Amino acid sequence: MAREKTTNTQAHNAPEFLAWHVTQRGEKSFWNKVGAAWAHKDGQGYTLQLETCPINGRIVLRAPLEDTPPQNEGRS
């Protein structure tokens, strides 16, 4: 029951971060949106919800200013 409540709350609140799966091929990087993250009410952590779980590359969390991946971002 608690899990259902969390999911419903998340669906109504915009995420604080979008999760991007980033892979590098040569000098070009490819960004694919794979999920989002919401802050806990107590401010002590985040809930990360992934729509897919990549097995290679890296996952980058970025503020959702736009629905497009950043360009020419370095590894941070």
- Predicted pLDDT at 12: 65
Residues 6+ away with beta carbon under 8 Å from 63: 16, 17, 18
Is pLDDT at 15 greater than 80 in this prediction? yes
Is pLDDT at 24 greater than 70 in this prediction? yes
- Predicted pLDDT at 65: 79
Tell me the pLDDT tens digit for each residue of 31-59. Answer: 999 999 999 999 999 999 999 999 999 99
